[in-house]
Amino acid sequence: MRPGADKLKHTGAISRIQLILRWGIFVPVFIVLMSGCGPYSETKKLYPRFSEKDLLSIVPGKTTKKEILGLLGLPAAMARKGMNVILSKPQAGTTTLHSPESFFEMFSLEKGPGIEHVVYYYQSVYTSQIGFFMITVGSGGSMLLGKPQPHLDLELWVLIDDEKGIVIDYAYR
């Protein structure tokens, strides 16, 4: 064996080990640095039927039933004297049965609700979802999301004289 050949083999073995160690540390550090994570929040309108700005265009005594339907679409519920009302509440995940009186009680009618009166009920509902996202090199990304939580934004009651087709009054909260 040549003098110093033993030393070359030994030096080559150390450099391979050093190379493996360098890449073994560098690659995971690189992946961590190139990854991202953070909080995630999203809000979606379930029933984007109206906003407070839309209410400015409703003029009692002038706005017609047809204009209400054009502006707001079909109501979530309709109440008429003597007819029970089925109301779906997505924010609670329930459907409930109501008496029509509960829809008329916010309006002051001299003789009480007549057969010509109908109340259109609208609701504006949105969902919010909070979660956590993580983006990693090579896998694209993943989301850990919580369950969407529905929230009631606005409620609107429109009292209409169905025979004349005119809005008598409205209330919202």
User: Which letter, b or e, does each residue of 87-120 get, where b requires 16 or more Cβ atoms within 10 Å of its Cβ?
Assistant: beebbeeeeeeeebeebbeebeeeeebeeebbbb
The conformation of residue 64, written as its DSSP 8-state character, comes to B
Q: What is the pTM of this model?
A: 0.62
Domain boundaries, the chain: 1-34, 36-172
Whole-number Å distance between alpha carbons of 77 and 81: 13
Check if the beta carbon of residue 87 is closer than 8 Å to that of residue 98.
yes
pLDDT per residue of the chain (173 residues) written in tens, 0 to 9: 555 555 555 555 567 777 677 777 777 776 666 566 666 666 666 665 677 788 899 999 999 999 999 998 888 888 998 888 877 665 556 667 778 888 888 888 777 788 899 999 988 877 777 766 666 555 555 655 567 676 667 889 999 999 999 999 999 88
